[in-house]
Amino acid sequence: MSPTPEPTQEPNILGKIASVVGLLGAALFFTGWIYRWSYFYFFQLEITTLDLPAQSFFIVPLQVFLGDGWAILKTVVALVFSAVAIHITLWLIQSIGNAIAEKIERFRSPIIVPMKKRQQSWISRQLKSLTEFSYTEFNSIKFLRSLLDEIVIVFWILIILYWLARWQGTADARRDAGSNSTLPVVTLVAPENRLALGRKFDQEFKSPTGKGYHFIGDKGLFNDLAPRLRTNTADSKDPIVWRLLMERGGWIYLFPALPPNANPNDRPPVIAIQESQLGEQLMILSHDVSKKRSP
């Protein structure tokens, strides 16, 4: 009677696909979180306080990897660099392991030969067994080696994703804070008693004095910002254009855009205004500032 052939192991395709999707989702979320963190950090906002939807973090990486030609080029270079770095790191680990194994072999060779020449006692047999022990034959050691290889791969991938997301997030924030911003120009209209910092329509050239309000903090920030509440594009050296950063959690975040000649380290001040629940606020958004009409 012929022996029953052992069943062939079929590849678990669905399991591998699920693993790849899980790893890809984790990488996308990590990239999106770092991008958002670096973007809002430029405006001195903490991402954990903004209550952003979790699903948005999976879409943001498209901007990191495929935002423009420069982003695509950086992605390709990063992939090549990560592959080379992983290969070199694994090679170094293997070389160090082989060097250690070679030193152990040289250490135990002088011990094994004398033991074979004389009658072996129980202690000598145990010592011989210890010297002839090969840790590489155990599955646990092989598992640890495989785990180390995976840690190296994940480490380099996370490093590359971190720097790609941080560079792109900072670059996009600096662009949106300047004259080439993709954020909308904003006009916020609210009752006088609902807006602590603003100008009246019939006194638009008069800066607010803060009368009737108390303050905590640096009064100089208020004094510096009060004259800049109007959108002013007449001064080409220091044009003032107010833009909407975001609306989230019942708050409206506004900031005056930086001038074209701003230093790379400059940051715009951000004003957080609580949204009204009574409907007396009006916010106008536009892709560009208003144009002067001819009479």
What is the domain count for the chain? 2
Which pLDDT tens digit goes with each residue over 132-161? 555 555 555 666 777 788 888 889 999 999
Given a cut of 90, whether residue 69 has pLDDT beyond it is: no
242 strand-pairing partners: 256
Range in 5-9, 24-28, 80-84 the model is least confident about: 5-9
Residue 106 structure tokens: 């040289």
pLDDT at 113: 52
Q: Do 59 and 120 fall into the same domain?
A: yes
Residues 214 and 90 in one domain: no
Nearest to residue 132, comparing CAs of 120, 142, 147? 120
Query: Is residue 8 in a domain?
Result: no
Q: Count the Cβ atoms, other than its own, within 10 Å of residue 194.
A: 13
Residue with token string 């905590």: 216
Looking at the fold, whether 26 and 149 belong to one and the same domain comes out as: yes
Query: pLDDT by residue (tens digit) across 273-295?
Result: 888 877 788 888 888 888 765 44
Distance CA 120, CA 122 (A): 7
Give the span between the Cα atoms of 264 and 200, in whole angstroms. Answer: 34
Is pTM beyond 0.85? Reply is no
pLDDT in tens, 95-106: 887 777 677 666
Q: Assess whether 165 and 209 both reside in one domain.
A: no
* Residue finishing a domain among 176, 203, 231: 176
pLDDT in tens, 245-272: 999 888 899 999 988 888 888 899 999 8
What is residue 148's predicted lDDT score, i.e. its pLDDT?
Answer: 81
Edge-to-edge strand ranges of the sheet holding 242-248: 271-274, 251-256, 242-248, 185-189, 282-286
Residue 167: predicted pLDDT: 92
Same domain assignment for residues 26 and 120: yes
- Looking at residue 283, its pLDDT comes to 87
In this structure, the answer to whether residues 228 and 164 fall within a common structural domain is no
* pLDDT higher than 60, residue 223: yes
* pLDDT on residue 7: 53
Query: Does 143 share its domain with 22?
Result: yes
Nearest Cα to Cα of residue 165 among 41, 19, 22: 41
